[in-house]
Chain A
Amino acid sequence: MPTNEVLLEVKDLRVHFPTGDGLVKAVDGLSFKVHRGETFGIVGESGSGKSVTCLTALGLTNLDRANVSGEVLFKGQDLLTLSKEELRGLRGKEMAMIFQDPFACLHPFYRVGDQIVEAILVHEKMPKNQAAERAIELLAAVGIPKPRDRFKGYPHEYSGGMRQRAMIAMALAHNPDLLIADEPTTALDVTVQAQILELIDKVKREFNIGVILITHDLGVVADVAQSVMVMYAGRAAELGSREEVFSKPLHPYAWGLLESIPRVDSAGERLVPIEGAPPSLIFVPPGCPFHPRCPHRFEPCDKDRPDLVDRGGGHPDACHLTIEDKRKLWAEREARRTKGVKV
């Protein structure tokens, strides 16, 4: 269960990449908190800044090539001010990351077990055979059958789901406090996705850690996250508990996302797509970045950038509409949608 202990606090993070074509504002003024014991879901479309946020938090963006400002406080310590050596001491030890493509993350020439042993020995001095025992325990903990035999296996002998399990085992080597999962199930089939999501949830409960889950799949977030942040064009559009965001979404972009997904449990009704396409991060529209695609835009939207404001209820959003208007508009959309549903 989520606790009050803040593990990670991001304050007004900006990550801009100067390129030949112009300044890419990948992340532009982002603030959020992740607590111990919670799964914090970040959703958004490709290019909305989800991954850059987390890579920057881990110190994995090249600071020579990017302008980074703001604060990333991990257990009270600002990661952006740490040296490379200090960051290396934290990465893999107190915070760990698993990536989308488990095929690309394991070295094809080395045995999976040896790669986990290597991850263990980076931060801890111990005899190799002891580290091997620890690796076998980890493989068993993430549900790999016959871990002692599998320890000697090569990545190509593992299936996609098992590779992702091995990656999770590696991430858990040093009992981290924070686990960042960047699209951990996107490359996997649904039945295997269900296994991996369940495993991440189990790991979170048993190790009592915080998890950041990045995904473009709203269904995944709704299933496993306690808090949700919806990102658009490098900014937070909306931030709140899962219940709030899915049952009373406040931002027109979140409405659009929810309505454009075909659902397994209802068929027939016409999808309501969001018009247009996500903006280029070099030429982000002035004002609210979503206004060119927003059906509810009005006077100030193309001029003033709305801030992420909490209007009570701990469910802030960045939009100029009043809360009364939002409630009314969402109720209308809900009514229109449920009317069309064939049972």
Chain B
Amino acid sequence: MSATEASVRPAGTPRSSGDPLVEVRNLTKHFPITKGIILQKEVARVHAVEDVSFSIYPGETLGLVGESGCGKSTTARLVLKLLQATSGSVFFEGQDITRLSRAAMRPIRREMQMIFQDPYASLNPRQTVGQVIGAPYVIHKTEGETRKKVQDLMARTGLNPEHYNRYPHEFSGGQRQRIGVARALALRPKLIVCDEPVSALDVSIQAQILNLLEDLQQEFKLTYLFISHDLGVVRHIADRIAVMYLGRVVEVASSDDLYHRPRMPYTAALLSAVPKGHSGANVAQRVVLEGDVPSPIDPPSGCPFHPRCPKARQVGGGEIPENCRTQMPPLGEVDPRHLAACWYPVEKGEGLDKAAHV
């Protein structure tokens, strides 16, 4: 990658840098809302992803967290080019894939795979496990005996290779997710996008799958983009975390930094809302945000978080400061390797107003 590239490299880079495997620049996706039956007129747009930039480095796990509707999954699909971006680019190993044709995309697809949330819906019930896991070999016409390769994969992901001819309904939720992992692993990709891979599983099974993902990452030098709404899970597995709110990335930092010292008030509120339970954290310190996430059809001007932001109100003495209302703060470096998009980042040891209105 060019020299200018290195100079604009975002500050949230991990220690083991080098060139990023994936680089996302100013990625935007709008979905049109149309009216009319024959003449479809665009009446509004859902601003699903808005000006998102981040990089993923080889061998790391980038966590992507946020509440439902914040654009996590859309971002993931844009990275894999399962959706066409409205504007912006995705670079995979330095190559801009956003404008590639389907044919040109095909060899690159081998390098990027996905694990889906729902292990019940993402496996074809009429195919045997062997067919499901072996499908990538057939599609990409690889050499060698498929059956042997599939059975090796099954053994590696903790499935019994003798179950090659069984159907998905004969497996439990955790085992099905193992099938999904094996399928994603089949072509030895470089990048695996995990979209809420453990959300549908019970906690005891969840831990098994998380451990499996960690082992596979070590063994096959995988890079993960790991999406979850569960902050505990992301904290456990991710090296760096990007927090999204209403289609924008509002904070990026190493997972330790982010959890110990969130700078964007939204991140701070999100973390404080997680029930900590047995860790002895004080419930009284929980910041309960007012209201709901605004609609992405008509996002607020300026910082998308300003209508709910306890810090903005604190700074403005009850009123929301002008710049929060009118200008989107840039995603800038607030600490070394710690990016946040906020005009008034949370300071160390600062408590947010417990804005509880219940």
Say yes or no: is A100 at the interface (Cβ < 8 Å to chain B): no
Interface residues of A in 89-124 (CB under 8 A from B): none
- With A45-B203, A246-B278, A261-B203: A194-B255 Cβ-Cβ less than 8 Å: no
Say yes or no: is B62 at the interface (Cβ < 8 Å to chain A): no
Asked whether A265 lies within 8 Å of B279 as measured between CB atoms, the reply is yes
Say yes or no: is A31 at the interface (Cβ < 8 Å to chain B): no
Give the segment of B24-32, B128-136, B145-153, B268-276 that binds chain A.
B268-276
Say yes or no: is B235 at the interface (Cβ < 8 Å to chain A): yes
Q: How far apart are the CA atoms of A189 and B236 in the complex, in Å? A: 19
Asked whether A267 lies within 8 Å of B236 as measured between CB atoms, the reply is yes
Asked whether A216 lies within 8 Å of B202 as measured between CB atoms, the reply is yes
Q: Which residues of B contact A218 (CB under 8 A)?
A: 203, 277-278
Interface residues of B in 244-278 (CB under 8 A from A): 255-256, 259, 269-278
Q: Which residues of A contact B297 (CB under 8 A)?
A: none
Asked whether B278 lies within 8 Å of A273 as measured between CB atoms, the reply is no
Interface residues of A in 184-198 (CB under 8 A from B): 189-195, 197-198
- With A189-B68, A264-B259: A199-B358 Cβ-Cβ less than 8 Å: yes
Consensus secondary structure, chain B interface: helix
Asked whether B202 lies within 8 Å of A191 as measured between CB atoms, the reply is no
Give the segment of B93-101, B179-187, B285-293 that binds chain A.
B285-293
Give the segment of B3-11, B225-233, B326-334 that binds chain A.
B225-233
Say yes or no: is A277 at the interface (Cβ < 8 Å to chain B): yes
Can you name the residue of chain B whose Cβ is closest to the Cβ of A196? B358
Q: How far apart are the CA atoms of A191 and B283 in the complex, in Å? A: 14
- With A190-B273, A194-B288: A278-B279 Cβ-Cβ less than 8 Å: no
Asked whether A45 lies within 8 Å of B204 as measured between CB atoms, the reply is yes
Say yes or no: is A88 at the interface (Cβ < 8 Å to chain B): no
Interface residues of B in 40-73 (CB under 8 A from A): 67-68
Asked whether B259 lies within 8 Å of A198 as measured between CB atoms, the reply is no
Asked whether A246 lies within 8 Å of B277 as measured between CB atoms, the reply is yes
Q: How far apart are the CA atoms of A337 and B255 in the complex, in Å? A: 20
Whole-angstrom distance between the Cβ of A292 and the nearest chain B Cβ = 13
Asked whether A257 lies within 8 Å of B204 as measured between CB atoms, the reply is yes
Say yes or no: is A143 at the interface (Cβ < 8 Å to chain B): yes
Task: Mark A123-145 against chain B: 1 for CB-CB distance below 8 A, else 0.
Answer: 00000000000000000000101
Interface residues of A in 143-182 (CB under 8 A from B): 143, 145, 159, 161-162
Say yes or no: is B357 at the interface (Cβ < 8 Å to chain A): yes
Say yes or no: is A256 at the interface (Cβ < 8 Å to chain B): yes
Give the segment of B104-112, B207-215, B339-347 that binds chain A.
B207-215
Interface residues of A in 318-343 (CB under 8 A from B): 342
Asked whether B67 lies within 8 Å of A216 as measured between CB atoms, the reply is no
Interface residues of B in 312-343 (CB under 8 A from A): none
**Which residues in B have some Cβ–Cβ distance to A below 8 Å?**
67-68, 172, 174-175, 202-208, 210-211, 214, 229-233, 235-237, 255-256, 259, 269-279, 281, 283, 286, 288-289, 291-293, 356-358
Q: Known A-B contacts: A189-B67, A223-B276. Give 18 more (CB < 8 A).
A: A190-B229, A191-B67, A191-B288, A194-B288, A197-B275, A198-B286, A216-B203, A219-B275, A219-B278, A257-B204, A258-B278, A262-B232, A270-B214, A271-B236, A273-B206, A277-B172, A277-B175, A277-B205
Some 16 contacts from A to B, beta carbons below 8 A apart, are A192-B67, A195-B288, A217-B275, A219-B274, A220-B275, A223-B277, A257-B204, A260-B207, A263-B232, A263-B276, A264-B271, A264-B274, A265-B281, A267-B235, A267-B255, A272-B207
